[in-house]
């Protein structure tokens, strides 16, 4: 059994107790999994709020295979408003990225099926309607009566 000594807790542990890391000598990170998690948690907790928000946004956009530049371009093309109701986002909230769930049904998107940026209300309505245009048309007809 291969072992390694954690740089943080100084305990000798099996290499299975370390995350793999291609950029590290020996192919494993220097800290055991519990120490590594603790270090990451402390690092994230000490980041300035603005930096945490930027990092969270970048991570969220990765789910749609978008960069922050792609998002900003879409926002400019839409005039900074929701593609459906044409209202600006409220309370400094970002517009949600809408994508075709029939193309990519899981949480991750290929990026080609991204449709537009929507406010929270419009995005929720589409989700609750199951992206079904017939249902949405029947709802509109119902409201007109």
Where along the chain do its domains lie? Answer: 3-45, 65-144
Residue 92, pLDDT above cutoff 80: no
Contacts of 110 (CB under 8 A, 6+ apart): 65, 103, 104
Report the half-sphere exposure of 49 (CA within 13 A, side-chain side).
0
Residue 107, pLDDT above cutoff 80: no
- Rounded mean pLDDT, 77-99: 90
DSSP three-state, residue 37: helix
Q: What is the CATH number of domain 65-144?
A: 3.40.1800.10
pTM: 0.64
Q: Report how far residue 102's alpha carbon sits from residue 94's, in angstroms, rounded to the nearest whole number.
A: 24
- Rounded mean pLDDT, 7-36: 91
Q: β-pairing, 12-14 with 3-5?
A: antiparallel
| pLDDT for position 24 | 80
Please state the separation of Cα 57 from the chain's center in Å. 7
| pLDDT for position 44 | 80
What rounded mean pLDDT belongs to the chain?
A: 89
């Amino acid at each position: 059994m291969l072992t390694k000594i954690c740089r943080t807790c100084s305990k000798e542990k099996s290499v299975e107790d370390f995350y793999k890391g291609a950029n590290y000598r020996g192919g494993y990170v220097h800290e055991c999994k519990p120490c590594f998690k603790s270090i990451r948690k402390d690092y994230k907790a000490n980041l300035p709020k603005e930096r945490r928000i930027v990092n969270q946004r970048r991570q969220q956009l990765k789910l749609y295979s978008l960069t922050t530049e792609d998002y900003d371009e879409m926002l400019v093309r839409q005039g900074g408003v929701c593609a459906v109701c044409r209202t600006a986002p409220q309370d400094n909230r970002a517009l949600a990225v809408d994508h075709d769930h029939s193309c990519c049904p899981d949480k991750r998107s290929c990026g080609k099926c991204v449709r537009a940026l929507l406010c929270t209300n419009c995005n929720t309505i589409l989700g609750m309607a199951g992206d079904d245009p017939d249902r949405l048309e029947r709802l509109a007809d119902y409201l007109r009566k």
